Structure 1
Amino acid sequence: MWIEFFEAAAVATLFLLVPGYLLLRALRLPRAWSACLAPAASFGVMAVLGVVYGKARIPANVVSEVAVPSALFVAAALLARHGLRKGAPDRDLPRLSWGCVALYVVLGLVVAAFMYLKPLPGPNQIMVGKDVAHHLNGVLAFAQSGDFSSVGMSLYQTTADLAINPIGSGFYPAGWYIPCAMLVQLGVCETAVAMNAVNLVVVAVVWPLGVLALLRWIMPSSRRITVLGAIACTMFMPYPWYLLEFGPIFPTLAGFSLIPSCAVAFMLLVESDLSRRDRVRTLIAFLACAAGVALTQTSALFVDVIILVPYVCSRILTTSAEVRIRRLRIGPHALVVAWLAFCALVWVAVNRSSIMASVVRFSMWNYDSSLWQSIVNIFFLAYEGRFVGDLGQPVLGLVVFLGIVWTLRNRRLLWVSASYALACLTIVGNGLLKGTAREIVAGFWYSDPPRLAALAAICAVPLAAVGFAWLMHGLARAFRAEGRWGSSVPTTVAPVALASAVTIAVFFPSFNMPTPDAPSAGTGRVETKVESTRSALRAVYSDYETINTRKRAFLRTSQSRIEHEEGQDALVMNNPFDGSFIAYGDAGMRVLFRDLATGEGSQAADAAILRERLDQVATDHEVQDAVRRLGVRYVIKLEDCKENPLNSFKWSYKEDQWAGINGITDDTPGFEVVQRQGDMVLYRITAA
């Protein structure tokens, strides 16, 4: 199955590179730059087309989502090259070599193999977490329905499922689901493998390429910073690695990977020396990237705001921009104040709008931390504080601190430190503030410590690259001043040795502390941030009471029996809290409840009758009518889930709401056993 996994990853890479690359080439961006920004543009193209096709009732698939737009972009590129302005040059950007592109991708793959693939128990393992229901079932719903729209998304999207949807539909940024669904449509792999393969591409290819573009743009004269950025972008545990094992919040993982690319597209747009034609082209590129971010994870746009607001301030001051209104002259400093005031007003207005209410007012975590503790956490890169108990990353924190000092001394990248300061303020505010104040500061990310930690880590990556480069430069100068090893050694061996030492220190594994009495036994385990992240990832992808290999196998054999008897569209009643919420996405079984919810859609009334009284189907005519209206043919019951302290699924569970399913036994009138394995059983309904 690993071969299938890597085939899926290769195909997903094509999905995320080809359309965006061809679009950006048609817009006259240089080749290597187009490759780096391609994933954000590809997500944008596919997500926007998904909405358009959904409204027009056109089936979405690989042809309509990838082949058709790619062909149009090729035609546009050829027209641009051979049309009225034949031979027009590409946009003049800092030189970006394919060697750097290869370096970032190779290092991304190497670290991803260590941090993600090695701890992963298998390529089709499902992460244990409440939100996996939405992701797993949503991907298959996309694949089977051919509806890839973020508008009106639900877990019930086929024609048959629309008639029995018990939980309704709504807007959900669905960009991440599209490449997963296309892999399933093509038959490359099953749903779980598709999700894991796309996640690999996101962390090993998409994220590093975006960082490369950002570093090359903000520091075009420093090849050392560009090269060291390839290492720096893989070192931060809060992003991307922790988001692989938290939630799961895979759309956030994907959306955050596009943040650097979208930021670069905006930076290209606000350059002062662009011709009108180039500005229009760059605007199209930016809109494609921004659409990719917004329709993959909308909250990622606000991370771009945190990055770009200080950048615009820097551009205003460095270019001495001014505005004249008749006789009134507004200088650069006044423009900066006006810009900051405008951004603050828009931020608060959007935050307080009804559209964002469900996000910013989310209050599950009730996180708190003192000011001093938050400062210590930030310095050690333990951004999550008490949310995740570990040592943080003190070595990498020192490198980031050196980067901040460099920006304070040289001023060219002072705006990067300002962006990082804003990100850190969201962490401090989330720990100190309550109510509306907390919502304004951290609400765009659900006031969620792991999401805020990822935000800070993303903003810290350029500082780490700068600090790394400054540290190496200082070491080389020190050796050169000593003159001990000849003229060439300090500029080659010393920097490489330092880079290796820092990398080893950051990725140093956990170890046991020996004692004098039993040196080999150890009295306690010193667990590094890297090792704790890998251990947690291994744990959440392993078998639990809720989702395990035994349950998944029973669901698949049950679905085979159902398909043999009634066809694959037969509807199955279930209690999702026993783990059967994965039955649709993992086994293709049309269970009625595909999320840990009781229902609120148009069919919620009939669903409620069955939830509470299905065991009375032999004698209750109202239950019989509900069974006929919905078309329920079977009942699936899995082993009851025990509470798990790490991943609780039953915090919203009320047993009386599911009495109609829990009360069914082999002796209940109106039911017939189709197959049984221990406490797991598939019943056929015979009384309606």
Structure 2
Amino acid sequence: MSWLDAAPTMVLCGVLLVLPGLPLTYLLGLRRLAMVAVAPVVVVALVAVTAIGAAKLGVRWSPPLVFLVSVGSAVVAGCVVMLLRRRLLQPAPGDSLPVVAAAASGLVVALALGVFAIRAAIGSPEELVKTDDSSFHYNAVTNILNSGVASTFRIDTLGVPGRVRGFYPAAWHDLGSLLAMLTGGSVPATANILSVTIALVVWPLGCVLLMRQLAGPDRQALALAGLLSVAFGAFPWELLGWGILWPNLLGLSLVPAGVAVVMSMAGLAREDVIGRGRAFLLAPVALTAIAIAHPNAVVSLAAITLPAIVVALARAAARRYRAGRRPQAALFAAPIVLAAPAYWLVVVRLGVFAGPMTADSPPFESPSQALGEVLTGATNHHGAGWVLAGLVIVGAVSCFRQRSRRWLVAGHALSGGLYVLAAGVPGASRRIFTGFWYTDSHRLAAMLPVTGVPLVVIGVLAVVSAARAGLAPDGVLRRLRLWPPAAAVVVVIALLLATGGLHHADHRDRVLAAYPKANPLVTPDEYALFERIGRRTEPGTIVAQMPYNGSPAVMALTRRQVLFPQLNLGRLTTDQVYLAQHLNQAASDPRVCEIVNRLQVRYLLTNDHARGNRWDGTAYPAPSAGFRQIDQGGSFRLYRVSPCDKTADSR
């Protein structure tokens, strides 16, 4: 499959991420740009909550179920609006068509640039990712397809016998399973298409909405926000190639819309397109969507908007204090005063987040180097983006001169400070602040574009304004009649030329980290064998394998259960451990056949790997072991576990 062949699926994916949320955002009172930009947040919340409810009620997960819930939610919301229409807020004023068209133009150019970079990095939508986490994400989607259960409290089982159930953010996997059901495509292709669409549709829409709240219906600002949403390498490009962190990608893609909602709640939006009342209704929906996409994205939202929240609370307390309502003033001031002690109590003393806090990635540079990377956009030793870095600084200075925008600079500085702690400061104490992100500098660097995109837009507008003011005395602008659309085109062309197509080569290389061409996860012959396994094996049987050689992809390509579907082996059962060590000794070890028959392990897929470890039982069986080879591709061989199968002789 080529990317051109995948275009209809990408369009369908974009529709899936937006369309189901439009009736609800419309009924809430949002119009045009805001209605569309908030829709993905509603869709993710709706899908994730439906998955949890379906699992509790024993209803099988499917697209018709989500469709019925979407329609039902819209009907209920419509009835509520009809019954209480006189008491509800009036619909928010929608932006004019020229404003919407300007925003759309930036989004279209960003989409084109993004697709160009993706095609240069990922040869085919079906290309397999070569990272430690990819097998889990692939097979979590496959497990949903096989089991019909998509709850965020059940996804971590992965079909492994005896697996303990627990929370794992499943919104991305829920969306992937729906797309796979609708298109019939392979799980790897679905994963790639979904993630690319999130990066090139959901994230840019959120950036435009955030810019709309900051700048009002400024056509140049909105067009630039759409365009520049794909300019930073740290996000979304880094998370398309590092990890691989697809759930984090989804969660952080929703954060700009979450920031826009907080701005409305805090009264900091310019010509607010959401409205404070609607923002309070949207807040729990946004928090639910972001949390089930990935919990650390909620913390990212909190960190970025902390200055805005402090400003809003301080203003509210000051107003009430001046009006003589001191008890109310104290109520609004209390969160500011008690925030630090509460944080210490919950995080340090009680250890509520002890799980992620124990993870640590050691610092790899000095604090000054890390700070320099934040200022130049060269995080994690990537190349500096000098033009964007300069515009961020110009935008920060411009914002600092306007009191209503200073919080944005503070939020950007806070994100940068967290990155410096993770990348450049030694010691376990830093995990008190960075542990929510597993002290991973890549996840923390990805926060910077949330505030970096609007800062660059504001910087560009400040430079253009200064240039226009400098030319105005000579009457040049009046004589040339330079109108805003022409100026915007000139600015866009200059940015593209000065940044090499918004750093196209850097973005391609960041994505290529997960899709290496010189040393791919499996060869074409091995990939073909993995696909044939679906025809060579029976439904309900399990294929044993060693998980570190790419073989977990068999489950994603064929929907056949493998014995070790991921690389996280912390919860292996005793049976699994025994088979890993002794499976190829089935002819001489009765315990092997007892486990094999109980678990329905009927096949062994293996290639030549090192002996003398826990996987000796999955190595090539000896000729005398009685295993029957039924297929081969590259270095892999597929065997029937004949010594334990009384029907093997008749096959």
Structure 1 residues 416 and 485 mapped into 2: Cα distance closer, same or farther (>3 Å)?
Answer: closer
Instruction: Report if the CA contact (8 A) 2:40-2:202 is conserved.
Output: yes
Instruction: Report if the CA contact (8 A) 1:476-1:495 is conserved.
Output: no
**1:503 maps to what in 2?**
496
> Displacement, 1:575?
0.9
**1:268 maps to what in 2?**
264
- 1:165 is aligned to 2:161: yes
Unaligned 5+ residue runs, structure 1? 510-528, 642-653
Unaligned 5+ residue runs, structure 2? 270-274, 645-651
Instruction: Report if the CA contact (8 A) 2:522-2:550 is conserved.
Output: yes
Q: 2 CA distance for matches of 1:109 and 1:195?
A: 18
> Displacement, 1:132?
0.4
* Amino acid corresponding to residue 68 of structure 1 in structure 2: L
**2:597 maps to what in 1?**
628
* Amino acid corresponding to residue 553 of structure 1 in structure 2: A
> Displacement, 1:59?
1.1
Instruction: Report if the CA contact (8 A) 1:50-1:60 is conserved.
Output: yes
- 1:116 is aligned to 2:118: yes
* Amino acid corresponding to residue 128 of structure 1 in structure 2: K
> Displacement, 1:210?
0.9
Structure 1 residues 321 and 51 mapped into 2: Cα distance closer, same or farther (>3 Å)?
Answer: farther
Among 426, 437, 440, the alignment partner of 2:432 is 440
Q: 2 CA distance for matches of 1:288 and 1:494?
A: 39
- 1:344 is aligned to 2:344: no
> Displacement, 1:173?
0.5
- 1:673 is aligned to 2:629: yes
Among 396, 400, 417, the alignment partner of 1:408 is 400
**2:613 maps to what in 1?**
656
Structure 1 residues 367 and 585 mapped into 2: Cα distance closer, same or farther (>3 Å)?
Answer: same
Q: 1 CA distance for matches of 2:481 and 2:276?
A: 46
**1:596 maps to what in 2?**
567
Among 243, 246, 250, the alignment partner of 1:247 is 243
Partner-residue secondary structure (3-state), 2:451: helix
Among 355, 362, 368, the alignment partner of 2:364 is 368
* Amino acid corresponding to residue 356 of structure 1 in structure 2: F
TM-score for the superposition, normalised by structure 1: 0.85
Instruction: Report if the CA contact (8 A) 2:607-2:620 is conserved.
Output: no
Instruction: Report if the CA contact (8 A) 1:572-1:636 is conserved.
Output: yes
* Amino acid corresponding to residue 401 of structure 2 in structure 1: R
Instruction: Report if the CA contact (8 A) 2:133-2:567 is conserved.
Output: no
Instruction: Report if the CA contact (8 A) 2:136-2:567 is conserved.
Output: no
Indicate the larger mover: 104-113 or 205-214. Answer: 104-113
Cα RMSD (Å) of the superposition? 2.9
Q: 2 CA distance for matches of 1:93 and 1:549?
A: 55
Q: 1 CA distance for matches of 2:521 and 2:231?
A: 32
Instruction: Report if the CA contact (8 A) 1:80-1:86 is conserved.
Output: no
Q: Kindly report which structure 2 residues correspond to 1:383-532, keeping only aligned pairs within 5 A, or say none.
A: 383-384=379-380, 388=381, 390-484=382-476, 486-492=478-484, 493=486, 496-508=489-501, 530-532=504-506
Indicate the larger mover: 540-549 or 242-251. Answer: 540-549
Structure 1 residues 626 and 552 mapped into 2: Cα distance closer, same or farther (>3 Å)?
Answer: same
> Displacement, 1:92?
2.9
> Displacement, 1:508?
5.0
**2:55 maps to what in 1?**
54
Q: 2 CA distance for matches of 1:257 and 1:243?
A: 11
**1:311 maps to what in 2?**
308
Instruction: Report if the CA contact (8 A) 2:290-2:297 is conserved.
Output: yes
- 1:569 is aligned to 2:566: no
Structure 1 residues 668 and 283 mapped into 2: Cα distance closer, same or farther (>3 Å)?
Answer: farther
> Displacement, 1:190?
1.3
**2:216 maps to what in 1?**
220
Structure 1 residues 3 and 371 mapped into 2: Cα distance closer, same or farther (>3 Å)?
Answer: closer
Structure 1 residues 458 and 639 mapped into 2: Cα distance closer, same or farther (>3 Å)?
Answer: farther
> Displacement, 1:89?
6.6
Q: 1 CA distance for matches of 2:87 and 2:305?
A: 34
* Amino acid corresponding to residue 636 of structure 1 in structure 2: L
Partner-residue secondary structure (3-state), 2:384: coil
**2:30 maps to what in 1?**
29
Structure 1 residues 325 and 32 mapped into 2: Cα distance closer, same or farther (>3 Å)?
Answer: closer
TM-score for the superposition, normalised by structure 2: 0.90
Structure 1 residues 93 and 444 mapped into 2: Cα distance closer, same or farther (>3 Å)?
Answer: farther
Deviations 1:56-97 (A, max 9, x none): 2111211112x1122123323543554453797743357364
Q: What is the aligned-residue identity percentage?
A: 23
Instruction: Report if the CA contact (8 A) 1:381-1:392 is conserved.
Output: yes
Partner-residue secondary structure (3-state), 1:572: strand
- 1:181 is aligned to 2:177: yes
Among 582, 591, 612, the alignment partner of 1:613 is 582
* Amino acid corresponding to residue 38 of structure 1 in structure 2: A
Structure 1 residues 571 and 658 mapped into 2: Cα distance closer, same or farther (>3 Å)?
Answer: same
Deviations 1:390-440 (A, max 9, x none): 331111000000011101222220110010111111122223433442112
Indicate the larger mover: 322-331 or 39-48. Answer: 322-331
Q: Kindly report which structure 2 residues correspond to 1:204-219, keeping only aligned pairs within 5 A, or say none.
A: 204-219=200-215
Indicate the larger mover: 1-10 or 621-630. Answer: 1-10
